[in-house]
Amino acid sequence: MSRIIFILVLLVVGYLLLKSWQRRNKLNNQRRDEPPSGQINKHLHIVSCQQCGLHIPENEAVQHGGKFFCSLDHAQQAQVTHQSTPKGKP
Ligand SMILES: [Zn+2]
């Protein structure tokens, strides 16, 4: 009888270990899919807005004509300023 109980306990412990191992594995896979924020920041390229000089990550910046801007507004403002640059006429 005690042998059966021993086997049952072994089965339960084995099952619990398997469960916790699976959960840990799942978490590790999730972490691999989305790298931690620190790793992202390491490879992040910071650019400054050509209009106001604000520093922003390149992936959030608006790129226009090879220049970076903090927003679409500033990209348009810069374009307007560039276009209205007087060439003899104001
Ligand atoms: Zn700006």
pLDDT tens per residue across span 5-48:
888 989 999 999 999 999 988 888 877 766 655 555 567 899 99
Cα of 82 from ligand 1 centre, angstroms: 15
Task: State the amino acid at position 27 in one-letter form.
Answer: L
Cα of 63 from ligand 1 centre, angstroms: 12
CB 53 within 8 A of CB 68: no
Q: Give pTM, 2 decimals.
A: 0.46
Going from N- to C-terminal start, the domains of the chain cover: 43-85
User: Angle at Cα 17 formed by Cα 14 and Cα 36, nearest 5°?
Assistant: 160
Cα of 75 from ligand 1 centre, angstroms: 8
What does each C-alpha distance from 61 to 26, 30, 67, 68, 79 come to in angstroms?
A: 34, 28, 9, 6, 16
Cα of 7 from ligand 1 centre, angstroms: 70
Q: Indicate whether 85 pLDDT > 60.
A: no
